[in-house]
Amino acid sequence: MTTTVAAPVTPERIMQFAWGYVPPLVLEAAIKHRVFDVLDAGPKTLAEVAKATKASERGLAAIMNALVGLEFLAKDSQGLYSLTPESSAFLVSTKPAFQGGLIRHCSEHLIPKWLGLNEIVATGEPAAAVNDEKVGADFFQKFVVDIFPMSYPAAQALARHLRLKPAARVLDLAAGSGVWGIALAQGSDGVRVTAVDWPEVIPVTRKTAAKFKLDGRFAFVEGDLLKADFGAGHDVATLGHILHSEGPERSRALLAKTFRALAPGGTIAIAEFLVNAERTGPVSGLFFAVNMLVNTASGGTYSFEEIAGWLKEAGFVQARTLEAPGPSPLILATKP
């Protein structure tokens, strides 16, 4: 007979989480003070980084050593700091895969709202709802540019998968930077994109499309998603990171409206932070649901099964996932 002895429980994780706000804030300070950008030119001493960034040696020593502890920087026996493969790829602001966009908003936009979480849980009401145009439009003007690199590889994977014919028409809903339409237009010459977003955000979409020399292939529609004219006969519709802020009721109405705007045989592609059907993981999707509690009136995160049910209800068939770089696979479905 074997006896199993339960591992002793320790408070270690709780102690670790007590400092959970440190990594994003230290990363933000390092990005704001260009630590990763400066080290991209090669290893440097603390004094050299201080001279190049004009930040204090005391401040830089504290955050750079913390970044060594977090393995975002390396330090040799001579005290020279250098980038790691991860920080070199994703934390240098000039690199195409720069992921600091979200981090850049921590202290100004994200954490201040999260500080009200105790009260928000008590009432179920957000401090300020970004799904409301008056609050959200100003925030999204800046935010959508910063999150472009998060979705660009997934949008390129979608373009490779769809292999659109040259005359194809794409409807990019809640376009933001236009990242989904841009990747699909780059994927096939002649593809035309209709981008829909709030009037305050459309100038950002226009500017980003122009940066990629694609503005001539874009049409822009300003307005609320449930009121704007989507047109008809589109071959593809993309909904990039919008359902989570809309909540179930508006999401279902949006999917039904999108169905009507597609041509028969058309494809809908949805990017979301998914959770499993039991809502026990992955933890990133569960965290994002709390973020939606804090920042929206009725938003949350959903499972593939839930979204597939809404798609079926709207008339779509063959709801399926497409593996793509990013937190979750994309969800695709077809208008019969």
Ligand X SMILES: C[S@@+](CC[C@H](N)C(=O)[O-])C[C@H]1O[C@@H](n2cnc3c(N)ncnc32)[C@H](O)[C@@H]1O
**Contact residues for ligand X, defined by CB under 6 A:** 131, 136, 140, 144, 147, 151, 174-177, 179-180, 197-198, 201, 224-225, 240-242, 245, 271
Nearer to ligand X (CB atom), residue 131 or residue 156: 131
Cβ at position 176, least distance to ligand X in Å: 3
Q: Is 228 exposed, middle or buried (0-12, 13-18, 19+ CB in 10 A)?
A: middle
Cβ at position 213, least distance to ligand X in Å: 20
Nearer to ligand X (CB atom), residue 89 or residue 145: 145
Cβ at position 75, least distance to ligand X in Å: 35
Q: Which residue's structure tokens are 């399926």?
A: 320
Nearer to ligand X (CB atom), residue 184 or residue 242: 242
Separation of alpha carbons 69 and 165, rounded Å: 50
CB 75 within 8 A of CB 81: yes
Cβ at position 67, least distance to ligand X in Å: 27
β-sheet bridge partners, residue 322: 330
Nearer to ligand X (CB atom), residue 72 or residue 143: 143
Terminus-to-terminus CA distance in the chain, angstroms? 61
Cβ at position 134, least distance to ligand X in Å: 11
Cβ at position 173, least distance to ligand X in Å: 8
Cβ at position 245, least distance to ligand X in Å: 6
Nearer to ligand X (CB atom), residue 41 or residue 287: 287
> Which residue's CB atom is positioned nearest to ligand X?
176
CB 263 within 8 A of CB 231: no
Nearer to ligand X (CB atom), residue 140 or residue 316: 140
The 10 Å Cβ neighbour count of residue 77 is: 5
Cβ at position 194, least distance to ligand X in Å: 13
Nearer to ligand X (CB atom), residue 130 or residue 314: 130
Cβ at position 271, least distance to ligand X in Å: 6
Nearer to ligand X (CB atom), residue 26 or residue 293: 293
Nearer to ligand X (CB atom), residue 30 or residue 174: 174
